[in-house]
Structure formats: C-alpha cells, structure tokens
Structure 1
Amino acid sequence: MSIKKRKAYELEITDLAFGGRGLAKPDGFPVFIDRCIPGDVVFAKITKKKKSWAEGKLIKILQESSLRKEGKCQYCNFCGGCKWQQIGYDLQLEYKKRHVTESMQHIGGLKDVLVKDVIPSDNIYEYRNKMEFSCSSKRWLLPWELENEEIKKDFGIGLHVPGTFDKVIDIKRCEIMPDLGNQILDDVRNFIKESDLPAYNLRTHEGFWRFLMLRHSVAFDTWMVNIVTTFKQMDVVRDLASVLTQNHPQIKSVMNNITDAKSGVSIGKEEICLYGKDHIKERLGKFVFKISPNSFFQTNTRSCENLYAKVSEYAALTGKETVIDLYSGTGTIPIWLSDQAKMVYGIEIVKSAVVDAKLNAQLNGIENCEFFEGDIKDVLPGLKQKPDVMIIDPPRVGMHKDVVQQVLYISPEKIVYVSCNPATLARDLEMLAPEYDIKEIQPVDMFPHTYHIESVALLLKK
C-alpha cells in the first residue's frame, strides 16, 4: 500500500507508540494515529507524510478493539487530558513499562537494563491536586451540541482541544479532579456568565476573564482558587471570592493573578490575595509544604510519596552522607531526605522556587538543607562539597550536555535520577553509562489515563 498525504485509508492498529498514539503498519510503513488502541480497525486521513513514517487523523472507528473500554469521562475523546481512558488500567501500566524499556533500548542503546513493574497510582480518578481551566468567549461545540440548533457558541470554561490554542471545551465535570473542584468550577462558570465582563479572546486580545486555577491539599482537604484576569477589577473578583467561600468552607485561599500578556500564560504580573492566606499547605510524609498559586508541586500527592519513597530507598542514606540535588525546585526532595543525610544541597534556576524551598525548610525546622539559585552548569563547579549521592530530577528536556560532563567530572559514587520523560532519561543514561552501572529503573505512575510516566533510576559508579 502506497501511503499518500491527504488520502484516507482503512488501517488496523497493532500497537501503542510512546506519546500515546496508535500505530498502524500497512506494508511495514509506520502510521501514527491519535485516540486509537491496538485491535481497532479505523478509517484515517493522512495529515503528514515523511520518508519513513506518517501521521493520520482518525475519521471513524470501523471495528472496535476487544481491549477498548468505555471511558468514564464524557469528554475523553475530545479534550487533551485523559486519552487512555478507553484502556484498562492494568494494560495502561504494561504499556508504560514497555515504553520505558523500549526507550532504553532504542534511544539509549541500553539493552540489559532492569525495568521493574510500574508502581500504580493509589487513585486513578480524582487524583490531581491542581487543575487549570481556560476561559473562552466562544466555546468549542461537541458533536451532540452541533446537532442542537438552540445551543449557542457562547462562553465556556474548561480544557483545550488538542493542537489548538484558542478552542476550549466547556467542561462540566472533570473526573481526575476531586468532586468539590467541579462544584467550584460550576459556581465560577455561573458567576462569569452573569457578569458584564467578557472572557479573554486570544485572537483579539480583548476581554477580562482568563483562567481559573484550582489547587487542593489532600492532607488537609483545603482548596485554593486562583482567578486570572487581564486587568484589575476588584469589586467583581471580590464578589466572586465571597460567593465561593460562602458556598464552600473548604476554600481557604482565593487569589487574583493579573496579566495583560498576549500569550496564553496563567502566571500574573501582579498577585492579590482576596480571601484567607496567599498559600495552602500540603503534607508529604511527615513534612509540610506551603503551596502558592504559581509554585511547582507534583500533581498527584499520594503517588509523589511513592516516588520519593523509592528515591529514599535507592539513596540508602545512613545519616553521614552529603547529597546534592540538581533541579531542586521548591525543595521537596532535599527536605524529604533531610533527616536521612548529613547535609543536602539543592540547585535551582527559578528564583521563586528557591525562595519557596528556603521557606519550606524553615517551616519544617530543617537546618541541614542549603539552596543555591542559578544555572546548574554555573553553580555546580563552585560547590566545594563532593557529594556521596547526587539526585538528578530535570525537566522533560533532560540534562544539558554541559551538566552531564560536570556530573561525570564530580563522579559521585551513586546517582538517583528521577525522570518524567523516558526518551530524555535514555539519552542521558547513555552518556553516563561509560562510568556508571545502571542497576535498575522503577517506573511510578502519577498520571493515570495518560501516556506519561515517572521513573527513578539507580546508578552506581563502576
């Protein structure tokens, strides 16, 4: 079969590729199609054609796979959040493990690395402690809404249609967020509809309402509501804060971030506390952390504890070691390890994260954590302390090659590498492999119904 762009074909899905897309191989030629699972027979239009692969858009499922399940969420076939709801959770874990293994083999050239079975998420619904919803003056209509001429393309608040920057689905209920979050979302929707202020339009750059961010503390069952607007209108946002806090006593913080940035970014240039405090608190293990509107915190609290427990296990500290944590963020890993080590140093480039890390250490009465602000490749060479154990927890893009060279030069006896991207994990481990034995990799699922997977790798110096 000769595959051509803009042509449609009947294809059988035989596998799931990393990134969560279905894979068909007509005459051995790979075609990637979103929202398909192995065993589906589909009709798909080719949207991109390269020499050795192609991408297609699903038009219709001609024959459903025996593996296909009914998704719990009515939006799971349309929004970009939970594309794997039609796959049973046990099978999701199998594919996630396989994606880590295949990344090691095909990207890193690492053939004999032990990848363990995935540690599952304690909850597979209502697990996210943070959700961000976008406002739109013209929401995206779903197929059953298009059939009803009385339904108007008016205000919506929800999640984006994949591949678009301005098309928002009006989400009435998100299944991966705790139920109270849906009640808060509905109250905000009704308030905005009744207000005289329009939603922000990313094309015309006009309008007032931009984003709603919800944060939930699992340990304390409290909520933060962050309303992002284009300009200051204190009477309106204070009225909204009053409605929300009267309806939901669990809300302990209401913030207003204000930004006139033309890009779709929810971080404000100015931040105003409308109710309560400017943060909520969360607990990981025995440690308490302050969470401000824009601070980074792992979105699955209970699975984060599973992840950090594995970091502790691999670090195997006795209380005598010096630990350096690269990409230390708001200090969660250094603080988690603080009572197991002699001294922990964290390096982080984001100034606000370093400020939060220092505050979190003070909050927990910790005196053996020290945090440095700056680019790792600039800060690391200036540290006189040679670590016994190095923790590496980079963003999705992995380590800069200069940082890899510095790690090899410092040559710690043990490295614990925490990754949210199997592809860059494989690439970085390949560079470290000449000097380090990769003992094992433990995947930890923090994002049920998505293809994303966290992994912890243990490396020992040869």
Structure 2
Amino acid sequence: MQCDDYDAGRCRSCTLMGTAYADQLADKDRHVRSTLAPHTEGTTWLEPVRSPASHFRNKAKLVVGGTPGHPTLGILDAGGRGVDLRRCGLYEPGLSATFDPLHRLLVDHRVVPYDVPSRRGELKHLLVTHSPDGEHLVRFVVRTQEGLQAVRRLLPDLRAALPSARVVTVNLHPEHKAVLEGETEVVLTDEAVLPMRLGGVTLRLGPRAFFQTNTLVATALYAQAAAWAERLSPAAVTDLYCGVGGFALHLAAPGRRVTGVEVSAEAVAAARASADEMASGTAGLDIRFTAGDATDGVPGDPDLVVVNPPRRGIGADLAARLEASGARHVVYSSCNVDTLARDLAAMPSFRAREGRVVDMFPQTRHVETVLLLERG
C-alpha cells in the first residue's frame, strides 16, 4: 500500500507501511506462534485469515481540527493542530465517500472545531460507521449544548447530502480529556441502530456498540468459530463479552441453547432484537442474552464457552472460573497475544487444539488470534 500522507510525514500511524503485505502477515503469524509456544505444543495452526491490504476499515474515528470554514478531518499533530486525512487509503470506499460531503457541511455551517491547545471550540470528533448495505451511522462528538444545537441545525442538509446516513447522533463530551466520547448520547434520527448484515446474521449497532473494524475479516472470524461449534456439536454455548451478539448469533443452531453475557444493556437489547429476528425465521433456536459482568461467572452450564475480551484479557478470576466450570471447550478470540499467553497459563487444564491468526489490522503490528481450547 502506498500512502501520500505517510510519505509526506503527515501521519505515521501505519507502522508497517512499505512492508509487503505477505511479509506483514507472515511476521504476525510467526510472532503469535512464538509468543504462545509454551502453551500450544501439539496445536494445529490453520492458515492465517488474510485481509485486503487497503480499503478495509468500516469505521472512521476522525479528529476535527482547523478553524470555522477550514476544518480538518483526521488526526492532530504533536502541537495539537489538525491534520487532514480524508484521502487515507485504509477506509472502505463507501466510508471514505462520506468524508467530503461531511466536510462541506462543516464548512457551509461554519461549525467551530475544538482547539486542543486553547481548550476552546465545539466539535471534537466525527465518527462514521459503514455497513455492508451501504448505510451509515454518523456521530458528532461536541463539547456543549451549543455544539448540539449546531448539529441539529445542519441535520436537514446532512440528510440531503448523505441520504445513506441511517443514524445520526450527538455525543456530549464537555471535559478536556484524552478519551473519545462522553456519557450523554442524543439520537437525532428516527433510527437508533445500524444493521450490519453478515451473511445470514444481522447485527444491530448502536452509537456505542463495539464491532470489529474489518467487516470481511470479522465474517471469517465468526465463520471459524461456527465451524468449530459445528464439529463439536455442543448442547449449550455461553458467549462472554458478547457485545451485540456476533459470536452467539453465529453459533446458534436448532436444539442448541446459546447464552450471551454483556455489561452494556444497550448492546444486550440490540442482540435480543437480532435473536428475535433469527428465531422468527428458523424454528428451534434458543438464544438468550443477559446484561452482566462477563467476569462474574459462566452461566448456562455450557459445553462450549466463547470469550472475546478487551485487550486486558479475561484475567485471573475468570480464568479460574473457567477452570472450575464444566465446559469441555473454549473458543478464545484475542486482540492481544501477550494477555492471551498469560490467560492460557492460568488455565492449565485446557490445551490449544487449533489456532489461527486473523488479520484485522493490516499495516500495523496489531493482530487478532483465535484458539480452540480443549480440556484434557
């Protein structure tokens, strides 16, 4: 992948830029296998899941900089000034196509960007998610109610310029902190969730919902877990950290009880709506979602447990609960191979039978790993 912004030194976020993609993937595969080697003796490693080297991201997290009438959408430089990255090659074409219309709206309405050095201004971030059906969720992160009203005023023009914007929201983030969003979300459209159709499963993303940043590779990740479940034929599956139900819904099958646990009540509501839709079209599905802390236990007396934790991993407490559970198998999907290695060390009764590198993040050293663990 060639990038003018990288070559000009405007952005160096893609730390592997200039390295051939085949070499990137081979290096990631070697690194994962080496890091996990003490815990994966006898493991069968499957061929890594490849991603397109460019145009793969389904979500943009754009920092808004510049001045009224001359905003930038991208990142901030070392001095806190905006760097425009609307031509970044990482985004899906249907996502990057939204950047210029949104930029023109900010120009025409003279929306005031937030200036980090002076701590003044309104619009901090513009967050856009693109669905496989070409629809969008657009979020404006602003500092005050004045910023909220500014977005309300431009909404009719936004709907005209970007009719694919199914969901538009405003997030209020009044504090000067290095975090992406605040606690208050205001939905400005009739629709509050963005459908993400992945084959026969439709997930529903609310403004704060987590979804893998690479739709194509996420589909392959879910398919791998479903293939393992098909082979194992578990009577009961528990999906911890289930989010909007990605793994749980893909592992659902007639005669199999699936339980999902997620701390976000909003995500649980979205997962339940997807489950209801699936159940209306397929007889014999038993899918349940509950709001709760995934580290508190392993409900549902499962044969198979799926864990997809944040970068910190599952931790010692949940590892101990999995050890003490009656689960025969665990599918562990990890975005941090170091915490994955630590968690495997804390579950000595499980052995990794199969593993696969899943490349969600080309051009960077970040990598997803999925393992099938078996007790014995």
Q: Normalised by the size of structure 1, how large is the TM-score?
A: 0.73
Q: CA deviation at 1:160?
A: 4.2
Q: CA deviation at 1:78?
A: 4.2
Match of 2:244 in 1: 330
Match of 1:118 in 2: 48
Match of 1:102 in 2: 34
1:222 aligns with 2:222: no
- Closer/same/farther in 2, CA of residues 194 and 285 from structure 1, 3 Å limit: closer
Structure 1: how far apart are the matches of 2:149 and 2:310? 39
- Closer/same/farther in 2, CA of residues 165 and 216 from structure 1, 3 Å limit: farther
Structure 1: how far apart are the matches of 2:202 and 2:209? 15
- Closer/same/farther in 2, CA of residues 238 and 125 from structure 1, 3 Å limit: same
Structure 2: how far apart are the matches of 1:297 and 1:431? 28
Letter in structure 1 aligned against 2:249: I
Does the residue aligned with 1:441 lie in a helix, a strand or coil? strand
Structure 1: how far apart are the matches of 2:234 and 2:353? 23
Q: Of residues 340, 343, 348 in structure 2, which corresponds to 1:425?
A: 340
Q: CA deviation at 1:137?
A: 4.0
- Closer/same/farther in 2, CA of residues 363 and 232 from structure 1, 3 Å limit: farther
1:156 aligns with 2:156: no
Does the residue aligned with 1:125 lie in a helix, a strand or coil? coil
Structure 1: how far apart are the matches of 2:277 and 2:181? 25
Structure exhibiting the larger radius of gyration computed from Cα positions? 1
After TM superposition, the structure 1 stretch with the greater mean CA deviation from structure 2, 263-272 or 444-453, is: 263-272
- Closer/same/farther in 2, CA of residues 377 and 237 from structure 1, 3 Å limit: closer
Q: Which runs of 5+ in 1 are unaligned?
A: 1-69, 139-153
Structure 1: how far apart are the matches of 2:255 and 2:11? 44
Match of 1:369 in 2: 287
Conserved 8 A contact 1:200-1:210: yes
Structure 2: how far apart are the matches of 1:379 and 1:113? 27
Q: CA deviation at 1:409?
A: 0.5
1:136 aligns with 2:65: yes
Q: CA deviation at 1:111?
A: 5.1
Structure 2: how far apart are the matches of 1:341 and 1:454? 31
Letter in structure 2 aligned against 1:360: S
- Closer/same/farther in 2, CA of residues 410 and 165 from structure 1, 3 Å limit: farther
Q: CA deviation at 1:308?
A: 0.8
Structure 1: how far apart are the matches of 2:375 and 2:360? 29
Conserved 8 A contact 1:344-1:370: yes
Conserved 8 A contact 2:307-2:333: yes
Match of 2:14 in 1: 82
Q: CA deviation at 1:440?
A: 2.1
Q: Which residues in structure 2 correspond to 1:350-389 (within 5 Å)? A: 350-365=264-279, 368-380=286-298, 383=299, 385-389=300-304
Match of 1:307 in 2: 221
After TM superposition, the structure 1 stretch with the greater mean CA deviation from structure 2, 227-236 or 279-288, is: 227-236
* Aligned-CA RMSD value: 2.6
Q: Which runs of 5+ in 2 are unaligned?
A: none
Match of 2:331 in 1: 416
